[in-house]
Structures are given as C-alpha cells and as structure tokens.
Amino acid sequence: MANTRDEIIICRCEEVTLGEIREWIAKGYDTFDELKRVLRVGMGPCQGRGCRDLILREISKMTGKRVDEIPPGRFRPPSKPVKLGVLAKGGNDE
C-alpha cells in the first residue's frame, strides 16, 4: 500500500511519518500511547500538540472507531519545556 502520502511527517519533533504510523496501527498499536511508546510520537518538545489530533483521526480511519472512543493518551507535566537551570532555582524566591 505504498502511497506518496506515507512520506508526510506527522510528528515534527520526532520526525515520524504517516507511513510509519499506519504500519504500527495495522500491527494493532491503535491507541495514541502505544504509538507514542513505539514511535516516540508526541514525546518531543511539543508533547503531541501538533500530532495528537492527526494521529487519533488516523486511528479512527483505520479501525472504524469514532475518535471519542479512542483513548487520547496521557498529558504529562510540565506543559511547556522549562530549562533545568530555572527549575533548579526552585519556585519560592521571586
């Protein structure tokens, strides 16, 4: 099922293509968190802001499930990348 669309990069942080995502959904990795663990989608600095919806839609297309039936995956802190040096200074002295 080679398709030129397979070359499209869906997760820009980790450079994961639509083709790779489709390949793993076909192997049964049909939740966001499974794809995250096997392909690193959503593990980069944007934490899935760019790719999560696109991937959930692709899972929906391939499995026939509605998007709201697919586990959306965990959101982990911090919500935006923060420098180690800033975190090391602590949060109480301003």
Partner 1 sequence: MTLPKTANAVIIGGGIQGCSIAYHLAKLGMKDVVVLEQNTMCSGSSGRCGAGIRAQWGTEMNCRFGLACVEMFEHLEEELGMDCGLHQGGYLLVAYQEAEFEQLKKNMKLQNSLGVDTKVISYDEAREICPGLSADDAVGFTYHARDGHADPMLTTFAYQEAAKRLGVQFYKFTRCTDVKTLNGKVAGVTTNHGDIDTPVVVNAAGGYSQQVAKMAGIELPCFSERHEIIITEPVEQGVCPPMLMSFSGNYYIQQRPHGSIIGGCSPEGHPEDYENGNSWGFLEKMSQTITSLLPRTRGVRVVRQWSGLYNMTPDRQPIMCEADTVKGFFLSVGYSGHGFMFGPVSGELLAQKILGREPWISIEQLHYNRFEKGELIIEPAVV
| Pick 4 or 80: Cβ nearer partner 1 | 80
The correct pick among 8, 26, 67, 82 for binding partner 1 (CB under 8 A) is: 82
Nearest alpha carbon to residue 45 among 8, 82, 9: 82
Rounded-to-integer distance, Cα 24 and Cα 20, Å: 6
Piece in contact with partner 1 (CB under 8 A), picked from 3-11, 29-37, 57-65? 29-37
Stretch of 4-12, 35-43, 53-61, 62-70 lying at the interface with partner 1 (CB under 8 A): 35-43
Which stretch, 3-11, 25-33, 51-59, 61-69, contacts partner 1 (CB under 8 A)? 25-33
Quick one: residue 15, left, alpha or beta (phi over 0 = left, psi -120 to 50 = alpha)?
left
Site string for partner 1, 44-63 (x = CB under 8 A): xx-x----------------
83, with CB counted inside 10 A (0-12, 13-18, 19+), is exposed
